[in-house]
Structure 1
Amino acid sequence: MGSGTEAWLGIDLGTQGVRALLVTADGAVAGSGSAPLRHGRRAGTRHEQEPGEWWEALCAAARQALPGGCRVDGLAVCGTSGTVLLTDPDGQPLGPALMYDDGRAGAEAARLRAAGLAVQDTWGLPKARWLLANGESGKVAHQPDIVTAHLVGHPVPTDSSHALKTAYDLGRDAWPEIPGVPADALPAVVRPGTRLGEVCRAAAKATGIPAGTPVIAGMTDGCAAQIASGALREGAWNSVLGTTLVLKGAAAEPVRDPAGVVYNHRAPDGGWLPGGASSVGAGVLTARFPGADPAALDARAAAFEPSNAVAYPLVSPGERFPFRSSDATAVLLGDPVSDADLWAALLQGVAMTERLCLDYLHHLGAPLDGPLTFTGGAARSAYWNQLRADILGRPGRVPEQTEPALGMAALAAYGMGAAPTLADVTDRMVRVRTVVEPRPGHTARFTEPYARLVDELQSRGWLPGPVAAHARARLDRDTADS
């Protein structure tokens, strides 16, 4: 890469490792690096990581990603949503971080809900209150805050995207009064895309990132993946199908949801990014078929459209989207005649859940008439992509590169003024590999199984009646019909 070529560095603090991508204005990856995170602690509902390991892994990943002497026009960092810890006044961690899925703060979450705050058990706010209530004092911080402080050499504000699940009020741009959390324990907050400072000399020596490189406030990993998908113009949606299913879209106004199932991030350039996360997903395939060859089972599953069974394939008990129920469990109606038939039922069940999520969003008045992008590990399956397009009755775009680190490179470019809007940046950076069109007549094949699933979820008391009725009313429409 020539020294005059513009390029931005995106850094993704994941669960298993840290990833860094150096990306040019046209979306070409000029350098990449990764380093594992090996020392997290899991036991029952406990999941912790040592913040110092994040920095060590970032240093290793950044050195791999950067060719010697290359130019970096800016960088941004994303982290796992809901991961929190406490720091001292100098920004130094006081202990391990409670990761996004640490479940020890469930009782705190229940108390907060009783006080009128719409929070889920694993969100950042219950965990922050749990830390403070267990005798610790300090400042609440989110995962990227630790490494961005290392990069610039002093404590920095958190970004409003990571602060969302710690109850930051995006409409007022202010912290509300939070029971059990002193106001002085909460960090200053800036909007994503804000310049936090520049890489200091000590950090440059440790990472290989040139001293003086601007450091831009990032977003959560889910938002970073949405940016990498290019789903940023109103009505566009990104469906991320990995272990579980996450949908994130773009809207001019927040999508209001009294049930608290759908939440809204604030886009760096002022719009809104509504979304929700289901506990249904591809994780059920590895649980039911450990060691199986997915491509071989995909080929055999094509003979069962629809399957002899209807599934609601929860990866773990409890559901968050398209309804909230701590009592929800996996459902399998009917008897598959073979492993291939069961595999088909699970693939179809995930896609029907995806449809129900979109129907729920339509019920709330969300705009759905833009393009839908498929990302996540499951998007590597051409058959499943086709099946999802068929069941949803709408095309699905599959980008070439969907890593959250790419999204952070794009956000860094926006933060440094590369284009007027973030969508303008991603229009150039995000490359679509293929567009999957629904096959004629195939959507209708799944009308009866979908209606049967909706009826079952309602009969179990999980899916509210008005939502079920809305889904039935849209049986003969595609999910882009607004």
Structure 2
Amino acid sequence: MSYLGIDLGTSGLRALLLAEDGSVLGSAEHSCTSQHKHPGWSEQDPAEWIAALEGAVAALRDAHPEFADLRAVGVAGHMHGATLLDSNGDVIRPCILWNDTRADAEARHLDALPGIRDISGNIVFPGFTAPKLLWVREHEPENFARIAKVLLPAAYMNYYLTGDYVADMSDSAGTSWLDVSRRTWSEELLIAGQMSDSQMPRLVEGCQPAGTLRADLASRWGLRNSVTVAGGAGDNAAAACGLGALNEGDGFISLGTSGVLLAARDGYHPDPASALHTFCHAVPDRWYQMGVMLSATDSLNWLGQITGQKPADLTRALGDELRAPGRVQFYPYLSGERTPHNDANIRGGFTGLGKDTDQSDLTCAVLEGVVYGLSDSYDALVQTGARIDRLIGIGGGTKSRYWVKLIATVLNVPIELPQDGEFGAALGAARLGQIAETGASPEDILTPPSIGERVLPDSSKTADYEAAKAQFKAAYGPLRQISSRG
């Protein structure tokens, strides 16, 4: 038996084939492109997702005879995207993606309505799905009138696989239409967003069956058995499943283009004012909360561009020993910020520059600024009562041991780095498929990876970084004033 995990990302699709014992048989990737017709717009043609899926399946089928014994599929997808279908199930217009900001005014309108945050557990961000539909209603009324169903990207993939309109709780929690506490569509939120329950997909938990693979696909793919399609998950929930971040005390920190700090929660503890995201997990009776900053390794990449250096060379030049915080500070708001500021207009900058400032000072400041930004999310999580015993570190930025040691010290939490191997959203999706097909306990399947290194805080520098972090936080007000003039 084998299990297929699909990770539909913004830049491409990755498919991962697992054996029954959880070992990796193979993987395949296909790229996708986005269109940006106007500033702030970001769209994709769902036909590209299907082409990428079929290409990945063909590669796995040709390379691995075990593919013919496929028993389950799970899909993880980038959240919040609005895929609009007509009464025939055909796509009406390109999907409006998570990083599309055109619906800022609609988001502010929804967020100001009484009770919206209380039910959804979250601020209504411009990237969420509900404000996108209000934008379509206002600016494309002919398209809005044709809408029979609205599907998130992962739910659209489920539709292609099963022929049924079905979505999971973790992904649906990012729409501003879901009652995140009760794990059901909210009539009040749908009315506020000018939508109806009939336009929503059926809801299932991520580890439950969503349906069965269409017979024509099973035949074309050369499969021997009936194949279960799991509910699946939003990308971060699936990543948590791949890392075994399931229970209170578990979490991960991701240093990618953006930065994510995620904590699994045994209960529902929203705090919308902090700009934390509070979403359903991909398994029943669990939730997760996360803080998101928009420019994590993107900040280091930016410094590399303006200095003509590779980011890895910038961090390597710092050596292995953690330095005390410097005079120079960097504010990593190159593209605005989400947690905790929810401010699309704020921009970053350096302070404390002098004639003696050199490249290593700038590098340290960028790394420190990103970590201070992530510490805002950490502080917000702790204020909700989250217990964070450890964090698994993932993403390209964790290749810098200096940066990892800095994170551990500022957050005062051990950072565990997985051994080389497979983890992440595609693995989590495949595991969800396995649970859906076998009925296994999530605790038995969603296990953490083998840890290659455990990085501890440097207690000798904790107090110095606490003081520097306080100085960093004090500058937000002046930065916002400067940004508003630009």
Q: TM-score, normalised by structure 2?
A: 0.86
* 1:21 CA displacement: 0.6
- From 423, 426, 440, the counterpart of 1:402: 423
Alpha-carbon shift at residue 182 of structure 1 (Å): 3.0
Which one has a larger percent helix, Structure 1 or Structure 2? Answer: 2
- The more displaced of 6-15 and 61-70 is 61-70
In structure 2, relative to structure 1, the CA distance for the partners of 1:308 and 1:22 (3 Å cut) is: same
**1:297 Cα deviation from its structure 2 partner:** 1.4
Offset of residue 98 of structure 1 = 0.5
Q: List per-residue Cα deviations over 1:180-218 (Å, max 9, x = no partner).
A: 423132332222122122222322355555552110011
**Residue 129 of structure 2 corresponds to residue 124 of structure 1:** yes
Alignment-mate amino acid for residue 409 of structure 1: A
CA contact (8 A) 1:105 1:121 kept: yes
**Aligned residue number for residue 426 of structure 1:** 446
CA contact (8 A) 1:311 1:348 kept: yes
Matched, 1:439 2:448: no
Quickly say closer, same or farther: Cα 1:288–1:271, change in 2 above 3 A.
same
- Percent pairwise identity: 28
Alignment pair present for 1:352 and 2:372: yes
Q: Distance in 2 between matches of 1:210 and 1:443?
A: 58
* One-letter code aligned to 1:224: A
Aligned match of 1:480 = none
- Per the TM alignment, residue 69 of structure 1 is displaced from its structure 2 partner at its CA by 4.5
Which of 150, 158, 183 does residue 167 from structure 2 map onto? 158
Aligned partner letter, 1:119: V
Which of the residues 160, 180, 187 maps onto 1:176?
Answer: 187
- CA spacing shift, 1:327–1:398, aligned 2, 3 Å: same
Residue type of the partner of 1:435?
R
Alpha carbons 2:3, 2:70 under 8 Å: kept = yes
1:307-350 per-residue CA deviation (whole Å, 9 max, x = no partner) reads 33122212312x22123334432142211611121011101111
Q: Deviations over 1:43-92 (max 9, x none)?
A: 31111111111011001112223412432231110111111121023422
For residues 333-382 of structure 1, what are the alpha-carbon distances to aligned partners after superposition, in whole Å with 9 as ceiling and x for unaligned? 211611121011101111122222211211222222x2211112212222
Counterpart of 2:119 in structure 1 is: none
* One-letter amino acid of the counterpart of residue 416, structure 1: E
Which is worse superposed, 233-242 or 305-314? Answer: 305-314
> How far apart are residue 93 of structure 1 and its match?
1.2
Larger deviation, residues 73-82 vs 107-116: 107-116
Q: How do 1:195-234 and structure 2 match up within 5 A?
A: 195-207=209-221, 212-234=226-248
2:174 aligns to what SS in structure 1?
helix
Is the CA contact (8 Å cut-off) linking 1:280 and 1:314 kept in structure 2? yes
Q: CA deviation at 1:271?
A: 1.2
Counterpart in 2 of 1:109?
107
Match of 2:270 among 249, 256, 259: 256
Partner residue of 1:52 out of 47, 53, 60? 47
Residue 461 (structure 1) shift:
7.4
Distance 1:325 1:250 in 2: 25
1:300 to partner: Cα distance = 2.2
8 Å CA contact retained: 1:60, 1:207: no
For the residues of structure 2 that align with 1:280 and 1:38, how far apart are their CA atoms? 21
Task: Give the secondary-structure state (helix, strand or coil) at the position aligned to 1:276.
Answer: strand
Gapped runs of 5+ residues in structure 2? Answer: 117-122, 482-486
User: Where do residues 177-326 of structure 1 align in structure 2 (5 Å cutoff)?
Assistant: 177=188, 178-183=191-196, 184-207=198-221, 212-259=226-273, 261-267=275-281, 268-290=283-305, 292-302=309-319, 304-317=323-336, 319-326=337-344
SS in 1 for 2:150: strand
TM-score, normalisation: structure 1:
0.87
Partner amino acid, structure 2, of 1:28: S
Structure 1 residue 13: Cα displacement: 0.7
How many residue pairs end up in the alignment?
Answer: 452
Residue number in structure 2 paired with 1:82: 80
Q: Any idea what the Cα deviations from partners look like across 1:113-148, whole Å, max 9, x if unmatched?
A: 232333011111111222233212212111122222
Contact 1:105 / 1:122 at 8 angstroms: preserved in 2? yes
5 Å matches for 1:378-393? Answer: 378-393=397-412
C-alpha separation in 1, matches of 2:21 and 2:401: 26
Query: 1:284 and 1:310, CA in 2 relative to 1: closer, same or farther beyond 3 A?
Result: same
